[in-house]
Structure 1
């Protein structure tokens, strides 16, 4: 089952954006992953993240840019995700939760 969450947005004033990068600001990958995990919790309920199996960052995310997160329970606590904006796929990957994720 795939659930799409969004729109999401990282505000230009977020403290993690300071210095990342002046004149050409980019949202750090760790903030994107934080939003992915928030989408997992919203979609499947609380769980303990125990691994990031793999992630590919395919396009830059800019501050104040809307994006959506699609999360898919793959069984055994494994969660697939894809982050998209109007410009296409931003990031994709797979996470591992300690317990089986069950859609709510």
Structure 2
């Protein structure tokens, strides 16, 4: 899934003044959207047992989410062209395995 966070996104003015970076939580929100699109629905509560941020994403830069696996566990990568920005793992929380 391709995405870009626009330079007028409300999270950017405080993160960081003069040199805005897309907050990690906003990038992870895109990963969750990619999982929901793949599943055809929201998947419920998730855990993130592993997440590593390798490089920042700047406003208006194009990035993509790549998923591997299927419910209840996915590995993910977020890339800008060929540069790895974020990698990690998502797992359905216990009790949501049938979501």
Instruction: Confirm or deny a common fold (TM above 0.5).
Output: yes
Question: Which residue does 1:69 correspond to in 2?
Answer: 65
| Matches of 1:66 and 1:39, distance apart in 2 | 15
Q: Which blocks of at least 5 consecutive residues in structure 2 are unaligned? A: none
In structure 1, what is the Cα distance between the partners aligned to 2:91 and 2:6? 27
Task: List aligned pairs for 1:2-13, cutoff 5 A.
Answer: 5-6=1-2, 8-13=3-8
The 2-side partners of 1:57 and 1:30 are apart by 11
Q: TM-score, normalised by structure 1?
A: 0.83
Q: How many Å separate the matches in 2 of 1:40 and 1:100?
A: 15
C-alpha deviation, 1:50, in angstroms: 2.5
- 4+ aligned runs moved over 6 Å, structure 1: none
User: In structure 2, how many angstroms separate the alpha carbons of the residues matched to 1:13 and 1:74?
Assistant: 34
Supply the distance in 2 between the matched residues of 1:38 and 1:22 (Cα, whole angstroms). Answer: 27
Output the TM-score relative to the length of structure 2: 0.87
1:45 aligns with 2:40: yes
C-alpha RMSD of the superposition: 1.6
CA deviation map 1:29-51 (0-9, x unaligned) = 00000000001111122211321
- Which has the higher relative contact order, 1 or 2, with Cα contacts under 8 A spaced 6 or more apart? 1
Structure 1: where are the runs of 5+ without partners?
none
